[in-house]
Amino acid sequence: MSNDTAVRRLLRAPAAVISLVVLLAIVVVAIVAPIHVSYTHATGGLDEHPSAAHWLGTDDSGYDILSRIGVGARVSLGIALSAEVTIVLFGCIVGLIAGYYGGVWDMVLMRFTDMMFAFPDILLAILVAVILRGGLANIFVALTVTGWPGIARLVRAQTLSIRRREYIEAAHAIGVPDSQIIVRHIFPNLLSAVVVASTVDIAGLVVAESTLSFLGIGVQPPLVSWGSLISNALPYIDSHPELIYFPALFLMLTVLALNFLGDSLRDALDPRRADG
């Protein structure tokens, strides 16, 4: 199936289009809100309700809520995307080696992967974050350490299937180097599965980062993320619940959009489905 066919199929799916619009809107908020919306300590604190100057009002320190949500989007999405790139790179390397070479390589790498699966992801991420004492770089490490096994197992399964195909055996027969077979013949054929899995994984990473920041072991002040915004607003849940509602709404919309987009990508990239 050509890339054009997959794109057309994706754009015909209402869930995919809505998800893309939502994600684009959130990215715009992340880029524009912290730049063009004033947020200073002189705005009147929690007494400042939504207005033309402050669309979502201000928080307990007088900061514009929309701007804080925009900064939180930069942090939450930035960490999730950068961690996912590293997860995909490491997971693909492990999965390709285990699936292609098999034998001892497969046994050692997959037993290590299975050992990582023995620990619940979020609990292991909390443990790593506590040991490393939070911060952007350390949260990135915590999410990467806990995220790669799923991609590795997926890539291994795909590689085991692809390497048995006739054109791979023909490449072996004429002496094509293993590295060339992996890069030119195997990896392109599993890329669609990796893209779909990565889209859904990013949603999980956004939730994981927000959870760590909510618990106080994620990003540290003066930086904020959606999780820390929700945590900081807990004392005002009765008097000013909007301080929790707005960042939670952005978090929920992001996760839902990424999951729906992942499902739509899976359908669009499935070569067994007829176009039409």
Per-residue pLDDT tens over the stretch 31-66 = 886 665 544 433 444 545 665 556 676 766 667 778
pTM assigned to the model = 0.85
Backbone Cα Rg of the chain: 22
DSSP string, 227-274: HHHHHHHGGGTTT-THHHHHHHHHHHHHHHHHHHHHHHHHHHT-TTSP
Is there a domain that residue 73 lies in? yes
For residue range 226-262, list pLDDT tens digits in order: 998 898 888 888 877 888 888 999 999 999 999 999 8
Which of the pair, 206 or 47, is modelled with greater confidence? 206
Is there a domain that residue 274 lies in? no
Is there a domain that residue 9 lies in? yes
Is there a domain that residue 160 lies in? yes
Which conformational region is residue 216 in: left (phi greater than 0), alpha (psi within -120 to 50 degrees), or beta? left
Domain range spanning residue 157? Answer: 3-34+64-268
The helix-helix angle for 226-233 and 242-268 (nearest 10°) equals: 150
Is there a domain that residue 18 lies in? yes
Contact 111, 229 (CB under 8 A): no
Q: At residue 98, what are phi and psi to the nearest 5 degrees?
A: -65, -45
For the chain, the domain total comes to: 1
* CATH number of the domain within which 110 lies: 1.10.3720.10
Per-residue confidence (pLDDT) for residue 53, from 0 to 100: 59
Mean pLDDT across 97-105: 89
One-letter identity of residue 253: L
Contacts 24+ apart (CB under 8 A), 164-171: none
